[in-house]
Amino acid sequence: MSLKGKAAAIGIGELKPFRDPGDATAFGLMADVASMAINDSGLEKREIDGLLTSVAFAEPGMFYPAAVAEYVGIRPKMFDVVDIGGASGAGMFWRAAAAIDGGICSAVLCLAADTTLANPNFPDFSPFVSLEHEFEVPYGNTLPNCGYALIARRHMYEYGTTSEQLAKIAVDQRRNANHNPDARFYDRPLTIEEVMKSPVICDPLHLYEIVSPSCGGAAFVVASPEIAKRSKHPPVWLLGAGEATDHSSIAFAPSLTESAVKPAADAAFKMSGVDRKDIDLISPYDCYTITVLVTIEDAGFCKKGQGGPFVAEHDLTYAGDFPCNTHGGQLSFGQAGFAGGFSHVTEGIRQLMGRGGERQVKDAKLAYVNGNGGIMAEQCGLVLERRS
Amino acid sequence: MSGYTKPVPHPNAVSRPFWDAARKHELILQRCAGCGAHIYYPRSRCPKCMSDKLEWKPMSGRGTVYSYTVVWRTPTKAFADKPYVLAIIELEEGVRMTSNVLVAPDQVKVGMPVTVSFDDVTPETTLVKFKPA
């Protein structure tokens, strides 16, 4: 049993992230990206028979899939919420492929959108479960900043990783964003010195190592091989997928520095039959610089603990020897709330379709995407391919 | 009124013995009678062997700082008044806990020995914190 080559992404839709929500609603943005992705796929809306979505921070609730289907105006035969945080977009890709391969449906719309606006209907909403309210929050462990800072500090302790090495990730990704007109920080260059001089928020993490909350959303359509044959753009095939979790609260992770990215990536590469050295670009979730560093190590692109020297020695830009987050990553593209993780999936698809514009990675055929949820808690790795 | 504005834990039947002991300035954790594992946070069953034969045992209160961060800025208003040291403490008994180290921000180190320090934040609530040993 394998999902290798059983389904392909045939369309994408994505909003340029923006800071001020204005009149935007999460459901309104979902309809926007749904419309964009369906149009991009070349399918009629009535051909969409599957829906996977995520619950927006700004508009939480239950019975979400039917509400989104109703709002968007589709009547899917498979519909669900994928609740694995920033790994949800990657997780939807293989779930869509599995449903298609199982004969349940044939064209799945995967989408998420969010705003930074606190919804007055849910003034006390918190994404934490009660255990975190009881054993984490009273000590001030209130936001992901804290958890990733704990990881970065431990990585520095175990391996001698430096803030300058981490800053290099933000800087190279910014150079990618400077070639992506849809990135929030498109017109703002960034240097290592500027990262190092930005305020320390949670020691050792500086402001420019942390994502900027944004409004936005993204969607993609995953379709059966039969439908993919008639898509407008080159289909991007799922070759391998793997998923893993080993904790929820970071205090209970087996290790702060060796994450569940490893089993997820190993499973994805094993299913795909692809060698890591043949990957043309990676698109790893990047809520923080340390997230990218740990992912590069655990996904097997360098030895454990060598992520610091690796990112210092390699060029992570679209034109470099190790293209990484060619859209700028969420650090420079913007993090659209719960939809943020989608940008890594859509950029992987976009690059393999050859639609990267001035940031196109030359002859890109194979991409590795990593979705990461919570505090390195939920991991989903994907190997994607454009067939020549 | 104590004037304490930070969030406090709301114990349930499973966790109440832990918080009741903290109020008496005792650190107790569950120990699985089935496999011997120490368990934190309190649970209804052992996450290792799934036994429901769990016994409360006193801990030494000694441990080390596994990792830490100094939180200089947070949008969470209740914690925004001054920087604080958030840490993961590894207890001598092998269990990790999220807590605070009551020390100046420039004094905390990974691996530093610490000992439990009970913080009576309200008449009803005592938080389990740590200080340099």
Domains of chain B, first to last: 12-58 (no CATH), 60-133 (2.40.50.840)
- Whole-number pLDDT of residue A1: 78
Judge: B74–A142 Cβ closer than 8 Å, yes or no.
yes
Both tokens assigned to A49: 């028979």
| For residues A90-98, average pLDDT | 98
Q: What phi-psi label fits residue B117: left (phi over 0), alpha (psi between -120 and 50 degrees) or beta? A: beta
Q: Which residues of B touch A139 (CB under 8 A)?
A: 86, 98-100, 127, 129
The rounded distance, in Å, linking the Cα atoms of A252 and B40 is 9
- Mutation target for B interface from A134, A154, A249, A258: give the one with most B CBs within 10 A: A134
The listed CATH number (3.40.50.300, 3.40.47.10, 3.40.30.10, 3.40.50.1970) that belongs to domain A8-122+211-386: 3.40.47.10
The rounded distance, in Å, linking the Cα atoms of B42 and B29 is 7
Q: Each residue of A287-313: pLDDT tens digit?
A: 999 999 999 999 999 999 999 999 999
- Whole-number pLDDT of residue B124: 96
> Which residues lie below 8 Å from residue A278, measured CB to CB, with a gap of 6+?
A366
Q: Each residue of B69-93: pLDDT tens digit?
A: 999 998 888 898 899 999 999 999 9
Q: Predicted confidence band at A116 (pLDDT cuts at 50, 70, 90)?
A: confident
B86 CB near a chain A CB, below 8 Å? Answer: yes
Both tokens assigned to A342: 């989608």
**How close is the nearest chain B Cα to the Cα of A187, in Å?**
27
CB atoms near residue A161 (< 10 Å): 25
For the sheet containing A281-284, what is the strand order? A78-81, A50-53, A107-114, A216-223, A8-14, A236-245, A378-386, A366-373, A281-284
Determine how β-strand A50-53 pairs with β-strand A78-81: parallel
Q: Which residues of A touch B66 (CB under 8 A)?
A: 154, 256
**Out of A134, A145, A153, closest to residue B68 by CB:** A153
- Domains of chain A: which residue ranges? 8-122+211-386
Question: Of B21, B1, B86, which Cα lies nearest the Cα of A201?
Answer: B86
> Is the ipTM, as predicted for this complex, more than 0.90?
yes
The list of chain B residues with pLDDT below 70 reads 1-2
Judge: A146–B66 Cβ closer than 8 Å, yes or no.
no
> How far from B111 is each of A18, A153, A388, B66, B130, CA to CA, in Å?
42, 12, 53, 6, 13
Judge: A140–B84 Cβ closer than 8 Å, yes or no.
yes
| For residues A259-275, average pLDDT | 98
- Whole-number pLDDT of residue A121: 61
Judge: A202–B69 Cβ closer than 8 Å, yes or no.
yes
Q: How many CA atoms lie within 13 A of A241 on its CB side?
A: 26
- Whole-number pLDDT of residue A143: 79
Across chain A, mean pLDDT equals: 96
pTM, entire model: 0.96
Contact A225, A345 (CB under 8 A): no
Q: Which residues of A touch B125 (CB under 8 A)?
A: 138
